[in-house]
Amino acid sequence: MSQFWSAHVHDLDPYVPGEQPKDQRYIKLNTNECPYPPSPKAIQAIQSANLEHLRLYPDPNGDIVKEAVIEYFKEYNLERNEVFVGNGSDEVLAHVFCGLLKHDLPLLYPDISYSFYPVYANLYQIETDVIPLRDDFTINIDDYQRPNGGIIFPNPNAPTGIALPLAAIETLLQRNPHSVVVVDEAYVDFGAESAVSLVKQYANLLIVQTLSKSRALAGLRLGFAIGQADLIEALERVKNSFNSYPLDRLALIAGAAAILDRDYLHYVSRAIEQTRSTTVQGLERLGFKVLPSRANFIFARPPQGQAQSLYSQLKERGILVRYFNKPRLNEYLRITIGTDEEMTELLTQLRRLVG
Ligand code: PMP
């Protein structure tokens, strides 16, 4: 409480990011980062950059990244005014909440999903109607047949990792022609189907993606959105009322290089899918129940639901995972997929702790 704060600040309930320890002591499986380095082409782009140019402002439009996104999705013939770029997909999402999701009717999202959504809704004073997932943690699109001013969900969902098929997303778009349906595809490259193929057909579809996961650039901060020009214009208006230069010069060149390195993306995401599958088998052998994940993390219930104590015991042994002390989630651990070696060490420790 402070006399200096704007009144609304007293009511904010800020997002709490996963721990980022300052030392390298931990096997870090808690914030869904990529265990592999970024594309060598992205690193090369930064190493050969003319750093004297840092005295100049960057391109406020981020065109080189937009062009890279257009090239990456070239079969869909996107135009530059159908792509938006921002400082991480969190910033893109913030502009989406501000520019497209505040209406008289409530915004719908799943009760178990990205915990930044309620934070943005509160920041922008957006009314919400939070829809419970089914008992098996899947989204039932029939529950979204109610008056709404917008719908948002991650696909695959977080922290469950469960993906919604493209046909279900198309049904949601058809049922809600008057509200924007935002598909947060932060984890889509690890085996789910992207809805980018539907953008030209549906004026109400907005897709958000990030370079933080499959492109291993969480530290660079770069996210983007794809949608028809009318939706993108709203985001540009908000962005240009907030920060004209969200992407610095190094982020622009490295981000574009990473997006264009399609082979490296495939190599990294296939490696993670492979490690995910062996990790799931190992956990199931130890009696864990693991939800079917299409993401670079898994959501797993230990044999006796002793997630909180396992979280602490793993931390003492140098392994960080994520624990959510919330109803329905508190018997599960969210475990990011690391390298094969890291996951072998995790399984070794867990075998001692639960075996
Ligand atoms: N969406 C989802 C579902 C996420 O889990 C995350 C990662 N915390 C983000 C968006 C934001 O990622 P970033 O800001 O690094 O792009």
Task: Provide φ and ψ at 334, rounded to 5°.
Answer: -100, 120
Is the separation of the CB atoms in 34 and 214 below 8 Å?
A: yes
- The CATH classification of domain 17-38+263-354, taken from the options 3.40.50.300, 3.30.160.110, 2.70.70.10, 3.90.1150.10: 3.90.1150.10
Report whether residue 349 contacts ligand 1, using a CB cutoff of 6 Å. Answer: no
Task: Give me the architecture of the 40-260 domain, per CATH.
Answer: 3-Layer(aba) Sandwich (3.40)
Structure tokens belonging to residue 312: 């602490």
Report whether residue 223 contacts ligand 1, using a CB cutoff of 6 Å. Answer: yes
Centre of ligand 1 to C-alpha 186, Å, is 6
- pLDDT of 355 reads 77
Report whether residue 210 contacts ligand 1, using a CB cutoff of 6 Å. Answer: yes
Model pLDDT for residues 147-202, shown as the tens digit of each residue: 999 999 999 999 999 999 999 999 999 999 999 999 999 999 999 999 999 999 99
Structure tokens belonging to residue 330: 């508190």
**How many beta carbons lie within 10 A of that of residue 120, not counting itself?**
21
Sort strands 223-227 and 205-210 into parallel, antiparallel or unpaired.
antiparallel
Model pLDDT for residues 312-334, shown as the tens digit of each residue: 999 999 999 999 999 999 999 99
Q: Name the residue with the closest Cα to ligand 1, atom 12.
A: 89
Q: Which atom of ligand 1 lies nearest, measured to the CA of 218? A: 15
Structure tokens belonging to residue 223: 């996210």
In angstroms, rounded to a whole number, what is the distance separating the alpha carbons of residues 247 and 59?
8
Report whether residue 45 contacts ligand 1, using a CB cutoff of 6 Å. Answer: no
Q: Which atom of ligand 1 lies nearest, measured to the CA of 221? A: 15
Structure tokens belonging to residue 96: 């989406």
| pLDDT surpasses 90 at 18 | no
- pLDDT of 153 reads 98
Report whether residue 279 contacts ligand 1, using a CB cutoff of 6 Å. Answer: no
Model pLDDT for residues 36-54, shown as the tens digit of each residue: 999 999 999 999 999 999 9
Report whether residue 185 contacts ligand 1, using a CB cutoff of 6 Å. Answer: no
Domain boundaries, the chain: 17-38+263-354, 40-260
Q: What is the pTM of this model?
A: 0.97
For residue 52, give Cα distances in angstroms to 49, 245, 248, 249: 9, 18, 13, 11
Centre of ligand 1 to C-alpha 8, Å, is 25
- pLDDT of 43 reads 98
Report whether residue 212 contacts ligand 1, using a CB cutoff of 6 Å. Answer: yes
